[in-house]
Structure 1
């Protein structure tokens, strides 16, 4: 039977899109050659965070976080959802003033957040290095294990009976009527949705995507050592570098008691190998904030590739008028898990012709074709 939609990619974004379309009664084929929840979904931290680099980023991440909080009661223990909150750490007075400005912005937009002075920060996270200026706690930010949530969305969500998943399906080409697999098989659909991250470049070469490599390391179990997702306020500057290598402190308390340590960003490489000099630089940075880190046992390090767009916003919607059945959900960079559920809602609303919950224009792929960027 011909599907209504074919989705290329079974990561968290593709799975969310499939679940949303299936819940609306569409028959959905999901094709992936790696498995459910692979690629950037498997490589990332699973942080669900409201970000405020631009009004469009704030709108998408805040909307999606609300959808995650609605979904959370349905998730299983193995999905490791935890509303641990994010704690942005200010190392000095300049960053403390930045925290104050962030707090004012979040408060004005209804996001629950609290400023912590130096003593309050120390009491909240005793493992942090002494002498930090303070911090900003974002209450309802959360963490989740995205690969298993992708599996839940595809197999147990309300519309899952309408979803057919093929995990031996390497897509080689896309045209006006569907997709061609590596074995020559054709899959036809009224809507073809490309949601396989940086891998989409081989299918749609015109996409304005750039790979941004990142390293992560996970430790042995140290329950209670940290309580929040911890990030330095300098992380925002690091995240928006467009050349070279940068690192920033980012640490997550996993429900297992392990610590997940990041983060790094590299351009101009597609080599997945762990690079020891970059990993060392990242861990040295983290040790400035967590002095006990060098005494912990690290058990595994890995890399992944974020798909970045020139303006830092994802591509969500119809590709262009010359390919009427081609849609994309790509380019989320480090916010793919956070914004996956909102991406699915926006895409489904566009396909169905419904009014979306937030304006879709900042994320439309055509913004680059027309030389317009909404930020």
Structure 2
């Protein structure tokens, strides 16, 4: 079937990753078309926490570079992106978690990041709404929050050069794709950046769905000033094999409290599950006792697309020349969108990359010799 050439680069997915890739490629002078079918995306479902994580050095490098880039972009962002450099407090419930805070502090400080350990008294003064009895916390000053759907829209619009078109892609073949109306489109390159839905187009992609619940309250006077995350989140998010919850709360500029987080593996049901939502809220109330007195106005779910090693796949598909991947960010898609876009563009244009490329290469999971 003959394909119509419609752009130099066709990006599948208009969420934060696709938008960042489209923006970067357009800024590099390429003609870019974004196809988006408006299916529920992780961008709209997530908390918009710009956070540096350090499970390994490559995650640290990508997230730190990207958060720094978001801070550089902050003066350009419209007010409706609601970006705030509020910092993260990683909360320690006991001596063991305080030791983990100290280790995290050493890692981040060695990487040149601004952070400090605070004791129980300083924590109570900084966040009086927290329950008494916590051991202390690690404060990471450079982290922030962002309303990701509007940030994605800004990225798609800021150059005035990215073209957008509705369309559901049902098949990809390298730099060609087929829409659900049967039309074939072609570019010099196709970028697959549609999160968990990418596995429908390339089943060999090692993406695991991790369902999460979130809840937002009515508007209230300021309760907290930082994003608050328990240090147990690291264990829950990355090591648990079954359903898990962890305290993760931020106050939006509107005054609403944004409450997370939960994880369920390989659950593709978008419905809110009362038992999991209740478990998540009970955990949150253990840290914020007043939460139970607040009015919740909405809860919803979303799906993180996770790779086996927790790092995204950024680069050309080894089995399909012309098909490029920007996938598998799990809960760090909003955070790492700028770095992902620049690593992808550097490979496509054969320019210098800001970080080593190998840790994120798709070849670590997809062999060049087996059929797609």
TM-score by length of 2: 0.96
Aligned to 1:160: 160
Aligned to 1:366: 363
User: Aligned with 1:106: secondary structure?
Assistant: helix
User: Aligned with 1:306: secondary structure?
Assistant: strand
* Mean Cα deviation higher: 102-111 or 3-12: 102-111
Aligned to 2:311: 313
Aligned to 2:173: 175
Q: Answer yes or no: is the 8 Å Cα contact 2:175–2:321 preserved in 1.
A: no
Among candidates 9, 21, 26, match of residue 22 of structure 1: 26
Q: 1:323 Cα deviation (Å)?
A: 1.2
Aligned to 1:328: 325
Q: What is the RMSD of the two structures over their aligned residues, measured on CA atoms?
A: 1.2
User: Aligned with 1:2: secondary structure?
Assistant: strand
In the alignment, the residues of structure 1 paired with residue 208 and residue 328 of structure 2 have an alpha-carbon distance, to the nearest angstrom, of 9
Aligned to 2:216: 218
User: Aligned with 1:369: secondary structure?
Assistant: coil
Per-residue displacement from partner, 1:292-319 (whole Å, max 9, x unpaired)? Answer: 1111111100000000110010011111
Asked if 1:194 is matched to 2:192, the reply is: yes
Aligned to 2:126: 124
Q: Answer yes or no: is the 8 Å Cα contact 1:117–1:135 preserved in 2.
A: yes
In the alignment, the residues of structure 2 paired with residue 166 and residue 223 of structure 1 have an alpha-carbon distance, to the nearest angstrom, of 41
Per-residue displacement from partner, 1:63-91 (whole Å, max 9, x unpaired)? Answer: 10111011110001110000000000001
Among candidates 328, 342, 346, match of residue 343 of structure 2: 346
In the alignment, the residues of structure 2 paired with residue 10 and residue 24 of structure 1 have an alpha-carbon distance, to the nearest angstrom, of 19
Aligned to 1:111: 113
Aligned to 1:144: 146
In the alignment, the residues of structure 1 paired with residue 291 and residue 80 of structure 2 have an alpha-carbon distance, to the nearest angstrom, of 27
Per-residue displacement from partner, 1:346-371 (whole Å, max 9, x unpaired)? Answer: 00000010120110110011011359
In the alignment, the residues of structure 2 paired with residue 192 and residue 242 of structure 1 have an alpha-carbon distance, to the nearest angstrom, of 35
Q: Answer yes or no: is the 8 Å Cα contact 1:242–1:267 preserved in 2.
A: no
Q: 1:243 Cα deviation (Å)?
A: 2.5
Alignment of 1:232-243 (within 5 A): 232-241=230-239, 243=241
Aligned to 2:47: 45
Aligned to 1:71: 73
Aligned to 1:209: 207
Aligned to 1:5: 9
In the alignment, the residues of structure 2 paired with residue 140 and residue 176 of structure 1 have an alpha-carbon distance, to the nearest angstrom, of 39
Alignment CA distance shift 1:31-1:181 (3 Å): same
User: Aligned with 1:160: secondary structure?
Assistant: coil
Asked if 1:264 is matched to 2:266, the reply is: no
In the alignment, the residues of structure 2 paired with residue 234 and residue 343 of structure 1 have an alpha-carbon distance, to the nearest angstrom, of 27
TM-score by length of 1: 0.95
Aligned to 2:273: 275
Structure 1 runs of 4+ aligned residues shifted over 3 Å read none
Q: 1:176 Cα deviation (Å)?
A: 3.2
Q: Tell me how many residue pairs correspond in the alignment.
A: 364
Alignment CA distance shift 1:247-1:79 (3 Å): same
Q: 1:242 Cα deviation (Å)?
A: 5.2
In the alignment, the residues of structure 2 paired with residue 223 and residue 76 of structure 1 have an alpha-carbon distance, to the nearest angstrom, of 24
